[in-house]
Structure 1
Amino acid sequence: MLPKFISISETIIDRIKKGELLPGDKVPSENELISTYQISNTTARKCLLEIESKGWARRIKGKGTYVLNRTAEHQLLRTLGSIDSTRKGFDESLKIEGFTPKNIILEKTILLDGISSDIVGKHFIIEGPVLKIHQLRYADDILMKDETRYISLKLCPKIDRLPTEISYFKTYESDYGIKITDVKQTLSVDIMGPESALNNFDIDKQTAVFILDSAILCGKDKVVEIERSYYRGDKYKFAIIANPEYNSSVSSFNLDKNKD
């Protein structure tokens, strides 16, 4: 008969293989294992060490144990409509999955006249001044995301002085005391060619790209951030959470098969 910590760890690894626990998801904690399986602290600790030693998860000190990304060719799964996923931010999500993030800033400037964007059929506006950050985001030296973010400097003064690898969502909440009420997102698909002026991926053939437009709201018509990002179609999969709850509000998500 297998030791108890082995059988329990294999049960959790099987959940990972089946997709019940996805890359970046938190593995049950020691206390959760103790409660679920009626085991000792020592056995629970051995379970987590076994899962980690087999390469299925990684322990991050002070945070917990997270499922690693073992997909081929660095393919990443991202969840739309998830406040928790948005709160983590790009760099933290990659670290949790076992990748090394890197960011290259192409532009960081202040726009005095503001910015606007059409998302889920509605026009969203941030009045100036607005911080514009355009950066390329890498996982293990592979360019994954071409991101342009616009942030209200009226709502977040001096945020331009902070490093760009932070989770901006967390910063809005913790540093500026902003209560996020909604996240609007539209995902579309386009074909990007080598000759495209938007091709920062250095692709040498026509490649599908995901285009994510989003707006983060902190009131009925108050927008703290607008984002437009390009994701490599061969490196990403997107999952959708329907009707997620966040402070009694519902995030909106729309999928366009073709970009207008």
Structure 2
Amino acid sequence: MRKAEEINYKSPMYLQLKKVIYSKIQSGEYLPGTSIPSENELAKMYGINRLTVRNGIDQLVNEGLLMRVQGKGVYVLGANGKSNVETVGGFEEIVDASNARSIKIIKQVGRKASDKFSWIFGIGTEDEIYYIKRIINVGGTPSSLEETYIPKYLIPQLDSIDLSVFSIEEIYEFYGIIRNKVNETIDLTRLDANEGRMLKISANEEVMVMESISFDDKNRVVDYRRKYSVSDLCKYSVCMKKD
């Protein structure tokens, strides 16, 4: 659609821009978890000023469809907005008002499933999966190293989603994936030298490792995770649900 057909002078331009962005969200052009063009880009795109763009975006932020992230941009939320999604269980970082939690993405790539993940996810060996490796920091100190594998067919555009802004559980919620069962094993292990440096621990120091396979309400395997946690910065929680 041409610029002149989208933005004109018949009604307030910020409301027209709001409608355009809303339409792109509804059509799937702007997907939940992804960022929209910057204020400067939108201003150039539609021949309007940045204040008008900001007012249009603010309307959608107030309605819970967009979220501003300082230093990063504006992101699309799911239909239910951003929420504190409860986990089924597992290691949680010990966070209080003085120890903010942050995430650093080390790797977020697509790859072939291979024999192991073909068996885990019930897909072909040549089918695509996503591999995500990230460090979770508490108060600026690395507390966990997490590796996650997700079949691509569940969330085809996962590689365009900023997982330092949204948790995987929030992404599942955006895309209607209900994670309702997790099989977990817990052990102690030692990391290799490189991963030990990521967590700022010595080579012979043991960490807790949790391996988990998550299922959704359709009994599909939705992810496989390995999480290495420094014990004094984490706690283990279990949420039990009675049928």
TM-score bin (small chain): 0.5 to 0.7
Deviation at 1:154, TM superposition (A): 0.4
Cα distance between partner residues in 2 of 1:208 and 1:184:
23
Name the residue aligned to 1:23: none
In 2, distance between residues paired with 1:179 and 1:201? 31
1:219 Cα deviation after fit: 5.1
Which position in structure 2 is the counterpart of 1:222?
A: 220
* Structure 1 residue 176 corresponds to structure 2 residue 172: no
**By how many angstroms is 1:90 displaced?**
6.7
Match of 1:129 in 2: 128
| Structure 1: unaligned runs, 5 residues or longer | 1-82, 118-122, 249-260
Which residue in 1 is equivalent to 2:210? 212
**Structure 1 vs Structure 2 CA RMSD:** 3.2
Cα shift at 1:105: 1.9
5 Å matches for 1:65-214?
84-86=86-88, 94=95, 98-113=98-113, 116=116, 124-125=120-121, 127=123, 128-165=127-164, 166-173=166-173, 175-192=174-191, 196-199=193-196, 200-204=198-202, 206-214=204-212
Write 1 or 2 for the structure with the bigger share of strand: 1
Give, in whole Å, the separation in 1 of the partners of 2:135 and 2:176: 28
Measured in 2, the distance between the counterparts of 1:139 and 1:196 equals 21
With over 3 angstroms needed to count, the CA separation of the structure-2 counterparts of 1:101 and 1:137, relative to structure 1, is same
User: What is the CA–CA distance in structure 2 between the aligned matches of 1:155 and 1:222, rounded to whole Å?
Assistant: 10
List gaps (5 residues or longer) in structure 2: 1-84
Partner Cα distance (2:167, 2:88) in 1: 8
Aligned sequence identity (%): 17
Describe the superposition over 1:152-210 as per-residue Cα deviations: whole angstroms up to 9, x where unpaired: 2101121221111312123213x221232311111111244xx6343222323522200
Per the alignment, in what secondary structure is the counterpart of residue 150 of structure 2?
Answer: strand
Structure 1 residues 245 and 110, CA gap change in structure 2 (3 angstroms): same
Secondary structure of the equivalent of 2:86? Answer: helix
**How far, CA to CA, are the matches of 1:138 and 1:205 in structure 2?**
19
Change (3 A) 1:187 1:151: same
- Contact in 2 for aligned 1:218/1:224 (Cα 8 Å): yes
Q: Find the aligned partners of 1:144 and 1:176 in 2 and give their Cα distance.
A: 28
CA contact (8 A) 2:121 2:151 kept: no
Give 1:168's aligned amino acid.
Answer: I
Partner of 1:231: 229
The letter for the 1-side match of 2:179 is I
Distance in 2 (alpha carbons) for counterparts of 1:167 and 1:115: 28
Q: Relative to 1, partners in 2 of residues 1:239 and 1:146: Cα closer, same or farther, differing over 3 Å?
A: same
Aligned residues: 153
2:132–2:149: 8 Å Cα contact kept in structure 1? yes
Change (3 A) 1:196 1:229: same
